[in-house]
Amino acid sequence: MKKIFLLLLSLPTILYSHAQDKPSTGVADRKLWLSYMDKISRPVMSNLAQDKLKERMPVMLSDRIDNKESRSKVAYLEAFARTLSGIAPWINLEGGDAAEIKLRNQYREWSLKAIANAVDPQAKDYLQWNGGQPLVDASYLALALIRSPWLWEHLDKHVQQQVVDALKITRGTVPVYSNWILFTGMIEAFFCKYDLGDDPVRTEYAIREFTQHWYVGDGMYSDGMDFHFDYYNSIVIQPNLSVILQVQDDKRKKYLNEKQRVKAIGQRYAEILERLIGADGSYPATGRSIVYRAGVFHHLANMAYQQQLPASLPPAQIRCALTAVIKKTLESPSTFTSDGWLNIGLYGKQPGLADFYNTTGSLYICTNVFLPLGLPQTDDFWSGAPLPWTEIKIWSGSDVKGDHALDLK
């Protein structure tokens, strides 16, 4: 009987070991994350740094693409800006072991050259900045530069001005009345952070619509006037809103009440996202943009990076859960092309999952799962002992606290 009792006590760990092969340390997890981050990001950043992104990047399009010519042209900006937004916190970090420092120095060099080529009208890889989709992806460059002051501060002055010129082009585009208003807000947040003359009306518009009109309850916002059961609260809405509010707080001490409310909402939504991660790292493939792979957990990664996880979610537990997601979404042999570019899909190559706006470039938003690499190895996220996440606990028979909706007064 005693042996049976001890076996039952150890069951969550046994199942966790089976789901992960074996629980790994934070050091091993970090090396794994760095390896995957490098595998995804290297083709984009190295080629743009050489002014050869347009020459070498294959552009695959959704079978349902709405405008082949336009989508093909903007795919390069998508790939670059989305990749940089995810790896920016790590680029901004200092320290680590010798191998990590060497890798970071390489990416710093590539990033500076890539930005310079992207905004230089004389470069072969000068990217498209005017139009609807370019507004979206210009905002990811703005987000990257907010997340990594190191990058902004190490750009040559004339390149800085070219970045400003490129981002100002987007002001001519009226955003769709949806999460897109956060893209204009993010660009203004960049201008605000670096004292470059932001437009407070665009910022006000983005913040007020979401905080006063579009919160629908239990940790989630509608995407414009309608609520959609997809991952856009995580992909765009909550991470962008929190960054915009943080910049406003840092620079002007504005929207303090909104910031606290958004944090409380974000903590509840982090709990929801964590419970969606299955024991094997899979999750419900519901809603649009599911081919963004682990990028659908942008919000959970961002809350960990900002050290704002609720007390119910120990950082090491989130590390283990996200490690499982990263493995699951990248393990299929058909995830990458023969020369290392991402294929459209969630588990391997699955073009049927694509939406009408998806291209090769769209897929690189998945790098936003790597935001916690911007935390030092000594942080609890990396140094904590491995922990099973909620789905493993529940389905191994462990007693877990019940889940309850957030009731904001």
Q: Left (φ > 0), alpha (ψ -120 to 50) or beta: where does 16 sit?
A: alpha
Question: At how many degrees (to 10) do helices 238-252 and 298-305 cross?
Answer: 30
Residuewise pLDDT in 10s, the chain (409 residues): 444 434 444 444 444 544 445 678 999 999 999 999 999 999 999 999 999 999 999 999 999 999 999 999 999 999 999 999 999 999 999 999 999 999 999 999 999 999 999 999 999 999 999 999 999 999 999 999 999 999 999 999 999 999 999 999 999 999 999 999 999 999 999 999 999 999 999 999 999 999 999 999 999 999 999 999 999 999 999 999 999 999 999 999 999 999 999 999 999 999 999 999 999 999 999 999 999 999 999 999 999 999 999 999 999 999 999 999 999 999 999 999 999 999 999 999 999 999 999 999 999 999 999 999 999 999 999 999 999 999 999 999 999 999 999 998 7
Domain that holds residue 58: 27-395
3-state secondary structure (DSSP) of residue 256: helix
Give the contacts of 28 (CB within 8 A, at least 6 positions apart): none
Q: What is the pLDDT of residue 310?
A: 98
**Dihedral sign, CA of 205, 210, 211, 213?**
positive
Does 6 fall in a domain?
Answer: no
* Per-residue pLDDT, 57: 98
CB of 270 within 8 A of CB of 244? no
- Residue 46 included in any domain: yes
The answer to the question of residue 20 being in a domain is no
CB 220 within 8 A of CB 227: yes
In a domain, 407, yes or no: no
What distance in Å separates the CA atoms of residue 402 and residue 18, rounded to the nearest whole number? 25
* C-alpha separations of 323 from 30, 31, 121, 276, 301 in Å: 9, 11, 40, 14, 11
314 lies in some domain: yes
Q: Provide the CATH number for the domain around residue 269.
A: 1.50.10
Q: Is 192 exposed, middle or buried (0-12, 13-18, 19+ CB in 10 A)?
A: buried
Whole-structure pTM over 0.85, yes or no? yes
Tell me how far apart the terminal alpha carbons of the chain are, to the nearest angstrom: 50
Q: What is the DSSP letter of 213?
A: I
SS3 label, residue 300:
helix
Structural domain count of the chain? 1
Which pLDDT does position 24 carry in this prediction?
82
Kindly state whether residue 18 falls inside one of the protein's structural domains. Answer: no
Percentages helix, strand, coil for the chain (3-state, rounded to 5) are 65, 5, 35
Is 409 a domain residue? no
Report CA 241 to chain centroid distance, whole Å: 13
Contact 204, 181 (CB under 8 A): no
Closest by Cα among 239, 339, 222, 358 to 293: 358
Q: Is residue 76 part of a domain?
A: yes
Q: Residue 216: helix, strand or coil by DSSP?
A: strand
